[in-house]
Each structure stands twice: as C-alpha cells, then as structure tokens.
Amino acid sequence: MATSHADHPADHPVDAPADPSGGTAPAQSRETTEGTVYTVTGGDWDEVAESAARADDERIVVNMGPQHPSTHGVLRLILEIDGETVTEARCGIGYLHTGIEKNLEFRNWTQGTTFVTRMDYLTPFFNEAAYCLAVEKLLGIEDQIPDRASVIRVLLMELNRLSSHLVCIATGGMELGATTIMIYGFRDRELILDLYELITGLRMNHAYIRPGGLAQDLPAGAVDRLREFVKTMKKNLPEYDKLATGNPIFKARMQGIGHLDLTGCMALGATGPILRAAGLPHDLRKTDPYCGYETYDFEVPTADTCDSYGRFLIRLEEMRQSLRIVEQCVERLAPGPVMVADKKIAWPAQLALGPDGLGNSLDHIKKIMGTSMEALIHHFKLVTEGFRVPAGQAYAAVESPKGELGAHVVSDGGTRPYRVHFRDPSFTNLQSMAAMCEGGQVADVIVAVASIDPVMGGVDR
C-alpha cells in the first residue's frame, strides 16, 4: 500500500521483525512514483517460510451465530478454520443483554424472584432457590423454613433437572440428525411443564420459591398427578437407551469429541456433567447439602470418558436419580405451612384463584380487613415496601443441571438488595469451549457446544 512521509523517508529506518540472533533486520525505504518502497535484508529462511504458512489463504474466520440453530441461544462462535480443522475458537457473548443483576437493585427482596427466575430460563427453580437461600442466610431464618416448603422445593428442583436434561438431550440429538430423540425429549418435557402449570400456574418464569418459603401450597390433585408422572417417566426413560446409548452411529459421532480431562476442568472451573464425565463425583447435593438433600437416597453418576458421550450418559443417569428423589418427596409431603411464621417476612401464601383469574383469596382479604386496621396496614407495607434484610453478605450455591449455580447477595440493611451477583454454570462452562474444539473438525464444534449445554439467559445477566 502506498504511503508518504512529510520529510525525507530514506533518512528514517523503519521497524522490522527481529532476526533469529536477537537483533533487528536492517530496513531502508525510498520514495517511488508508486509510493514508499521498503527494502528488508537479513532474517532466517525457516522463519520466513513459517510466516508464509501462517498466512495461508486456506485459513479463514467463520462466524457461527449469534443467530444459528446450533448455538443454544444467541451465542456467537468465532472460529478460525484451516480447511475443516478448527485452529482457534472463541465465544462472543452479550447479545441477550438482560441486565437482570442490575435490575434487582431497584426491586424489593421478594420481587427479586421474578427477575432471577428468568436468567437461565430452562432452570428457573434453581435460580429462585439459590437467590432465596442466600436471602434467608442474611435474614438468619434458615432453620425456620417449614419442612413442607423444603420438600416441595426439592421436588420442583428435581423435576426441573429432568426437564433441563430432556431439552439438552433433545436439542443435542436434533443437531446430530437424531430427530426421534428430539421428538421424545420434548414429548416428555411437556409432561413436566404440565405439572409446573398445575403447581405454580405457569410453564416458566414462576417466581414460586420466595424468601421464607413458597408462593402457595400444592393444589388439590397434585400428588396424584406426580405419581402418574413418575410411572410414565419410568416407562419412557429406557427408550433413550434403546435409541441412542448403544447406537453405533450416535456413539461414533460423540465418542472422543469435546474432550476435556479432569485437569482441564479444574483449571477452567467447569462443574456439573462436564466435571463428572471426567471422573470426579462432585455434586453440591452431597458435598454441601441444602434443603435437606442429605436425607434423600440417591447416587452421583460419573464417567471416565471426558467426552460428549460421557456427558450424555451422565445426564441420562441423573434423570433416573431425579425420579428417585421425586418419589421420595411425594412420600414425605406431610401437611403443614409453606411460609415462615414470622409475619414481618412472610408474604401471604394461602392464596386461592379468584373469579378475576388472579390469586386474590377473598377469605384472606376479609380476614386482614376485618381483623384490624393494623393488619391491613402491615399487609400493604409488606407488599409495597417489602421487609428489611440485615446488612451483610451471603453466598448460597445449588447443584443446577449444568453445574454449580451460586448467588452472592449483599444487603445494606434496606428493603432492596445492594448488589446481587450470580455464578452461573453456563457462563463458566463456556470457557472450556476453546479447549474442547481447537484441533477438531467444524462439525464437531456443534457436538461439543451441545454437550456443554449453555443457556444464554444465564450467561448474559
């Protein structure tokens, strides 16, 4: 490219690459009718040849996403490829830009649950549970949460683990061309979403787990529906084994792909099925139990394959273990309250569906309006202003389907959080994408990303 200098360019040597001996190769420049011409002498031939090889025209940069069917949301993958081989892989994030963590600073503590449930929208109950456990730590009411509320929390989280893994297996199968797995996965997930709708009134974005307990108790008929579901899923789960586990095409497509060993997992902070597929049985439900998980009987599956196939097998086995826990929860559902007794914290949890389609329990309204003016004022202040949380900070973590999901909550003593920050496993696990993909084929990037199972709602908070 032609360049020009204001003074005499030949008087000024220009920067040149260092020669192998550590010095600088001399370079001279002169002006011609075509512009400035530089003459460079010296240098090592091998170095020049290597540099030419690096500038091979076959090496191109490909943007996969952010609008791409295989990126699990608005994830942008920047791939440098040499032919079909990926030489460099990077993630581009930030396309969802929800601003949820900042928004939490402008809502009261209970309203916060309506935001966090939308982060990783495939695991809403885990987001709510981590946030509420941290708030309860700050309030010092961990031991006051009613048993029934804790059992229902565990029940919903394990149902959520099932539905999240079903989406992972279904979408991952679809990306490999195994469309039957996709149909089966969404068929079974629909059964779980029907249960969510029965219990919380919504298929997603529930805000059902709240500081101090739950929004409301299980509705009539929920236990029978849960028992039917467990029976149906026990019948359906073996179909995934028949379709995929021993399928030679499925195995050939996944074995040895997206390799990340235990050392890599520890260096990158990967948790969940990625870590357990590398042989480490780390699960917060066992190592740092919460919500009474230490009293449930279940196993933590591991594999030693360190690849996408191992992660698939672990998710399949985790679904069986979740069904075991759901069965135990159903048997433990003893009558009782689902919200703490402290009226300074407890939002009304005895709501009934009113004729207007909203949760306005006429009995509750009559009671607070008829009992005393103070009760009505207290109810109004609790709902509009919210309760105060003692100043301090707390961290609570739960084992989400994707790994360790932690909430770091800071209070300045007011009715709103001073700061809330989440350690989302999708964000952390995405860091392993480059290690899994570089040196492999372009087609294998899709398999590796599917085995990480990232959800961008959790990444872009």
pTM of the model: 0.83
Domain for residue 143, yes or no? yes
Q: Are residues 297 and 440 in the same domain?
A: yes
Phi, psi of 349 (to 5 degrees): -120, 10
Q: Are residues 335 and 386 in the same domain?
A: yes
Could you tell me if 197 and 353 are in contact, meaning their C-beta atoms sit under 8 angstroms apart? no
Torsion of the alpha carbons at 45, 51, 54 and 58, rounded to the nearest 10? -70
Rounded Cα gap, residues 172 and 170, in angstroms = 6
Helix, strand, coil abundance in the chain, percent, nearest 5: 50, 15, 40
Q: Which domain holds residue 31?
A: 1-54
Query: What is residue 170's predicted lDDT score, i.e. its pLDDT?
Result: 93
Which residue among 19, 38, 54 closes a domain?
54
Q: Is the peptide bond before 66 cis (omega within 30 degrees of 0)?
A: yes
Q: Which residues of 52-88 are buried (b: 16+ CB within 10 A; e: fewer)?
A: eeeeeeeeeeeebbbeeebbbbbbbbebebeeeebee
Domain for residue 241, yes or no? yes
- Could you identify the residue written with the tokens 């079903």? 166
Rounded Cα gap, residues 131 and 394, in angstroms = 10
Q: Are residues 170 and 287 in the same domain?
A: yes
Q: Domains in the chain: how many in total?
A: 2
Domain for residue 80, yes or no? no
Give the CATH number, domain containing residue 366: 1.10.645.10
Domain for residue 62, yes or no? no
Query: What is residue 349's predicted lDDT score, i.e. its pLDDT?
Result: 60
Q: Are residues 138 and 19 in the same domain?
A: no
- Cα–Cα distances (Å) from 259 to 16, 69, 311, 449, in that order, read 40, 23, 11, 11
Rounded Cα gap, residues 127 and 208, in angstroms = 11
Q: Dihedral of CA 43/45/47/50: which sign?
A: positive
Q: Are residues 294 and 418 in the same domain?
A: yes
Which residue among 19, 36, 54 closes a domain?
54
Query: What is residue 461's predicted lDDT score, i.e. its pLDDT?
Result: 85
Q: Are residues 108 and 32 in the same domain?
A: no
Per-residue pLDDT of the chain (461 residues; tens, 9 = 90+): 444 444 444 444 444 444 444 444 455 677 887 777 766 665 666 675 666 566 555 678 888 878 777 777 788 888 888 888 888 888 888 888 889 999 999 999 999 999 999 999 999 999 999 999 999 999 999 999 999 999 999 999 999 999 999 999 999 888 888 889 999 999 999 999 999 999 998 899 999 999 999 988 898 889 999 999 999 999 999 999 888 888 899 899 999 899 999 999 999 999 999 999 999 999 999 999 999 999 999 999 999 998 999 999 999 999 999 999 999 999 999 898 888 988 888 876 655 555 555 555 667 667 766 777 777 777 788 888 888 999 999 999 999 999 999 999 999 999 999 999 999 999 999 999 999 998 888 889 999 999 998 999 899 88
- Could you identify the residue written with the tokens 């997603």? 204
Q: Are residues 365 and 236 in the same domain?
A: yes
Domain for residue 73, yes or no? no
Query: What is residue 84's predicted lDDT score, i.e. its pLDDT?
Result: 86
Angle ∠(152,153,158) on CA atoms, nearest 5 = 95
Q: Are residues 42 and 138 in the same domain?
A: no
Query: What is residue 357's predicted lDDT score, i.e. its pLDDT?
Result: 52
Q: Are residues 46 and 103 in the same domain?
A: no
DSSP states of 220-239 as a string?
TTHHHHHHHHHHHHHHHHHH
Q: Are residues 104 and 30 in the same domain?
A: no
Q: Are residues 42 and 135 in the same domain?
A: no
Domain for residue 348, yes or no? no
Rounded Cα gap, residues 210 and 222, in angstroms = 20
Domain for residue 85, yes or no? no
Rounded Cα gap, residues 400 and 129, in angstroms = 10
Rounded Cα gap, residues 49 and 81, in angstroms = 20
Domain for residue 71, yes or no? no
Q: Are residues 42 and 121 in the same domain?
A: no
